[in-house]
């Protein structure tokens, strides 16, 4: 995925936040979430979904969500769609 310069740092921070949230926590997670980090960019809804899918794919690894799966459960397939 092609990332703009300002997106690169934010996506790295979102991946780190995603990893932190995936760790076992007792009680509510009170730290910054990947969603909150991505909102700093104020992207369009379509771009936000593409960035979120990229964060998940980067954090989980490419084999976790195969692009051949149904789009409703495969965030990687969202990256292959063209933005309007």
- Domain extent at residue 59: 5-22+29-80
Q: What's the confidence (pLDDT) of residue 22? A: 81
Q: What's the confidence (pLDDT) of residue 2? A: 82
Going residue by residue through the chain, which has 84 residues, state the pLDDT in tens, using 9 for 90 and above.
788 888 888 888 888 888 888 876 676 767 888 888 988 899 888 888 888 888 888 888 766 655 554 455 455 555 555 555
| CA quadruple 59, 61, 66, 67: dihedral sign | positive
Q: What's the confidence (pLDDT) of residue 73? A: 47
Q: What is the pTM of this model?
A: 0.66
Q: Which long-range contacts (CB under 8 A, 24 or more apart) does 71-80 make?
A: 75/49, 78/49, 78/50, 78/53, 79/1, 79/50, 79/53, 79/54
> How many domains is the chain built from?
1
């Amino acid at each position: 995925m092609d990332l703009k310069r300002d997106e690169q740092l934010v996506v790295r921070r979102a991946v780190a936040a995603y990893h932190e949230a995936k760790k076992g926590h007792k009680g509510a997670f009170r730290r910054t979430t990947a969603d909150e980090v991505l909102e700093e960019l104020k992207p369009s809804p379509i771009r936000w979904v593409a960035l979120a899918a990229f964060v998940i794919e980067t954090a989980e690894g490419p084999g976790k969500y195969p692009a051949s799966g149904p789009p409703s459960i495969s965030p990687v397939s969202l990256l292959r769609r063209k933005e309007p």
